[in-house]
Structure 1
Amino acid sequence: MLDDIAVLTKVAAKKTAGVLGDDLALNAQQVTGVDASRELPVVWAVAKGSLVNKVILVPVALALSVFTPAWVIITLLMIGGLYLCYEGCEKLAHKFFHSAEATAHEKELRSALVEPTVDMVELEKQKIKGAIRTDFILSAEIVVITLGTVTNSPFLTQLLVLVSISLLMTIGVYGLVAGIVKLDDLGTRLVKSAPDGTGTFKQTTGFAILSTAPYLMKFLSIAGTAAMFLVGGGILVHGVPPLHHLVEGIVHSIAEIEPAGHILAGTSEMLFNAVIGIVAGTMVLVLIAGVKRLRRTTAESEDTYH
């Protein structure tokens, strides 16, 4: 049983890697704007909230597995894949079409640290609540993807795999977030640790950390978005048998090419998943935007009539 749990947990961890990357980037960004001395307490508060989310989600997932037919889990998995693709497209749309709003929000967060009239306790509470809400959605994705991996396993195996992946993801994400948000403090300490003229290696390391930390955050954001398309698209491809067989046939044909067929096949499969993810996410984004515009137009018409 332990072997089965270890193998299934490894498979689930691979499948949820995209959500993990996005979760890591989002939570690291959520702490932005918090006083340096309060960063770790805020991360700890969000981590506790994440554990509570999983305590709620794991029993719900197991109940669905026991009391509902298999197609319900597959449907939830497909919805989760669509949501990942939609969220990735929404990020790109926000980046390219609403960049002014994003810049203004970032300036607002920075000014909050130096503005004496800003209630920092309330700011922390808002950030923690927002991060826990975001974590609930991403945790639901992780639990549903994991449940799809262990659907045919015994109940006890399902329970232990879900608990294992929940603990691993929570510890992994928030441990890394804690390390990322304190990189600037580590770099500053290394720069200031040595008197002038000594300890040049420490100072060089400190300057290197300070200069690379912002790029690390950007890389995490980009990698998380890309992983959302890869994972979400992969879920959709596997959930639609004709599409899965089509992609599988193309990948197998590419794999026969010598001498780099296996490398090209793996790259091609990821590319197909990404393309499917982008197309599906764009369709959902356009649909939701159309519904919002229709509701807004209807509301304006009713106001004009009254």
Structure 2
Amino acid sequence: AFIPWLINPLLMLGGLFLCYEGAEKVLNKLLHGAGGPPESRAEHMKAVADKHIDLVAFESEKIKGAIRTDFILSAEIVVITLGAVANAGFVERVSVLVGIALILTAGVYGLVAGIVKLDDAGLYLSRQAAAWKQAVGRGLLAFAPWLMKALSVVGTAAMFLVGGGILLHGIPVAGHAVERVTEGLGWAAGIASNVAGGLAGLLAGAVVVLLVGAIQRWRGAGRAD
């Protein structure tokens, strides 16, 4: 890396952002349920019913948020990779980064694209003449919503585990404290360490959510005046 001292701060910022995103999802679910705030649900239903509204444009903020989170995750992976090959030669570093980029693009995002299109595949198969294709299609249509819900839960938990773990490792005092507590747990040490990282991520994310909310309210009050 050309500026190796930046690796740890970038990791910390990315980890904190992941914790913030996860905490925002959890708090929104706890406070408003699965559909979000009542005004958001009403606005969404109105947009769905109005044929003149472009739903893609209407959902642009959510799309931007998803893209932003994906970008941060990808950047975290790249920064971690840079840290792992910091002492390697320039050609080796470039080769590793290119390989990681290809794996992310073709593997991870290809898999995500396939999951997103799962219900489309189910709908297509359910309209075929063959009975077995219809059965498979109906099965996919029934399975897709449950899969998406499960991935949402797993993804949120991963934000806390990854983000919190990065924060603990980036703060030596906290990281060493967790190591001292878990070192005598044997096979459960890894599990306990991950739980500690997840809890740290949840706490850090909640603090950032509260700070961001306070800043937004302060700015809103300033504009109102």
Contact 1:80–1:144 under 8 Å retained in 2: no
1:91 maps to what in 2? Answer: 25
Q: TM-score, normalised by structure 1?
A: 0.63
What is the CA deviation profile of residues 50-81 of structure 1, one whole-angstrom value per residue up to 9, with x for unaligned ones? xxxxxxxxxxxxxxx31x3x332111111111
Unaligned runs of 5+ in 1: 1-64, 256-261
Residue 173 (structure 1) aligned to one of 99, 103, 108: 108
Contact 1:150–1:158 under 8 Å retained in 2: yes
Partner of 2:216, secondary structure, is helix
The structure-2 alpha-carbon separation of the partners of 1:160 and 1:179, relative to structure 1 and needing over 3 Å to count, comes to same
Matched letter for residue 76 of structure 1: L
What is the CA deviation profile of residues 208-231 of structure 1, one whole-angstrom value per residue up to 9, with x for unaligned ones? 111110111111111111000000
Q: 2:63 aligned with 1:139, yes or no?
A: no
Q: 2:143 aligned with 1:212, yes or no?
A: yes
Tell me the CA shift for residue 102 of structure 1: 4.8
Matched letter for residue 107 of structure 1: M
Tell me the CA shift for residue 276 of structure 1: 0.7
Tell me the CA shift for residue 282 of structure 1: 1.1
For these two proteins, the number of residue pairs brought into alignment is 220
The structure-2 alpha-carbon separation of the partners of 1:254 and 1:167, relative to structure 1 and needing over 3 Å to count, comes to same
Tell me the CA shift for residue 160 of structure 1: 1.7
1:295 maps to what in 2? Answer: 219
Tell me the CA shift for residue 145 of structure 1: 3.0
2:197 maps to what in 1? Answer: 273
The structure-2 alpha-carbon separation of the partners of 1:150 and 1:136, relative to structure 1 and needing over 3 Å to count, comes to same
Q: 2:154 aligned with 1:223, yes or no?
A: yes
Contact 1:77–1:148 under 8 Å retained in 2: no
Tell me the CA shift for residue 129 of structure 1: 7.5
Alignment of 1:1-306 (within 5 A): 65-66=1-2, 68=3, 70-98=4-32, 99=36, 100-104=38-42, 106-107=44-45, 110-111=48-49, 115=51, 117-119=52-54, 123=57, 126=60, 130=64, 132-133=67-68, 135-194=70-129, 199=131, 201-255=132-186, 262=187, 264-300=188-224, 303=225
**Percentage of identical aligned residues:** 47
Unaligned runs of 5+ in 2: none
Cα distance between partner residues in 1 of 2:63 and 2:121:
27
Superposed CA RMSD in Å reads 2.8
Q: TM-score, normalised by structure 2?
A: 0.83
Contact 2:122–2:140 under 8 Å retained in 1: yes
The structure-2 alpha-carbon separation of the partners of 1:298 and 1:187, relative to structure 1 and needing over 3 Å to count, comes to closer
What is the CA deviation profile of residues 9-33 of structure 1, one whole-angstrom value per residue up to 9, with x for unaligned ones? xxxxxxxxxxxxxxxxxxxxxxxxx
